[in-house]
Amino acid sequence: MIIDIHGHYTTAPAALGLWRDRQVAALEDPSLAPSRTDLSISDDDLRESIEANQLRLMDERGIDLTVFSPRASFMAHHVGSFATSAEWAAICNELCHRVSRLYPGRFVPAAMLPQSPGVDPATCLPELTRCVEEYGAVALNLNPDPSGGHWTAPPLTDRYWYPVYEKMVEYGVPAMVHVSTSINAAFHTTGAHYLNADTTAFMQLIQGDLFKDFPTLKLIIPHGGGAVPYHWGRFRGLAMALGKPTLEEHLLGNVFFDTCVYHQPGIDLLLEVIPTQNILFASEMIGAVRDIDPWTGHHFDDTARYIDAAGLDEAELGAIHEHNARTVYPRLDALLKRQGR
């Protein structure tokens, strides 16, 4: 079985974006505010948006199941207040939940949190609770920079974030550390901000001792870990300079990397440098890079091909495709077992 742990609902029906436009416009003129019931998306609309896109490509690429969360760049936690984010997250999470019910063997939801800059992350717990208990979410996306590129939040090792971690540990759900749109002109969203956030988060974790307080907490660094595996020697050396244990001891019981690296040499490096048990298959399809690579004739984000070509043995392939995900996402494993898989 191949589990893609990093999919977003990037192809949601246009009505969702139009509703969001009205919500944003209402920040200036509250009389424009849409109600939840103004958004009408039928099951057929959902099916059409999924079957022509993610499901088609999953079938073409042999991906059995995708952990599916709202579109990352649309989270836009910097917009409006907590109330804005709360309503928007509720709507987006409900859509992913509905997709998972339409295709119960193929999509499993992960929660978007209603984060807002400067607002106590504990405010996100009701939505997280709903997603886990009512929607069957097996993970969540945690934005280390709800300001959208201004990086005003404390590091991930700060007690500021502990209410979220406590709930994660209680539920047994991991978090993917994933930023949203950059409103800082210096940072292109998917070409700079996403990768920078991955690198930044990993270095924050090196500097702190978060997993002493939360030994069972699990975090996934997406996009192949940003710059981290490429600079593994640098990070090993920085950990030494900071008087920390080895990265294996300090972080690799709790931190995992996905395979969203869009060329063969990058995947080869990831597989060479990072222990197999810390790598989870993912493509973030349909996402930042949607074209066909003219050098290969295949989609840049068809990461399954790179992994197939990397010369792994069957046990390693099984770990990266399936078994590591079942370990890191225990609620996913339980669901699969209930489904007889």
Select which of 284, 314, 316, 322 is catalytic: 284
**Closer of 102 and 183 to a second copy (Cβ):** 183
| Options 20-28, 133-141, 187-195, 248-256: segment touching a second copy (CB under 8 A) | 187-195
Please report whether residue 150 would count as binding a second copy according to CB under 8 A: yes
- Other Cβ atoms less than 10 A from the Cβ of 194: the count is 24
Does residue 148 belong to the site contacting a second copy (CB under 8 A)?
A: no
Does the active-site annotation cover 249? no
The reply to whether 87 sits near a second copy by the rule CB under 8 A is no
Residue number with CB closer to a second copy (109 or 148): 148
List of residues 6+ apart from 108 with CB closer than 8 A: 65, 66, 67, 68, 100, 136, 137, 138, 332, 335
Report the nearest approach of a second copy to the CB of residue 91 (Å).
27
Min CB(176)–a second copy separation in Å: 17
Give the footprint of a second copy on residues 300-319 (CB under 8 A): 300-301
Range in contact with a second copy (rule: CB under 8 A) among 65-73, 79-87, 173-181, 261-269: 261-269
Among residues 96 and 142, whose Cβ is nearest to a second copy? Answer: 142
Q: Is residue 243 part of the contact set for a second copy (CB under 8 A)?
A: no
Contact between 20 and 88 under an 8 Å Cβ cutoff? The reply is yes
E strands, the chain, are 3-9, 65-70, 107-109, 111-112, 140-142, 175-177, 219-221, 255-258, 279-280
Residue given tokens 């992350």 in the structure block = 121
Number of residues that bind a second copy (CB under 8 A): 56
AA letter at 341 = R
Residue pair 199/226 in contact (Cβ under 8 Å)? The answer is: yes
- Rounding to the nearest 10 degrees, give the CA dihedral for residues 269, 271, 277, 279: 70
- Compute CA distances 145 → 121, 183, 238, whole Å: 12, 11, 23
**Token pair for 181:** 């749109």
Residues that bind a second copy (CB under 8 A): 144-145, 149-151, 153-155, 184-188, 190-192, 195-196, 199-200, 203-204, 206-207, 223-224, 226-227, 229-238, 240-241, 261-263, 265-266, 268-269, 272-273, 288-291, 293, 300-301
List the catalytic residues.
Answer: 284
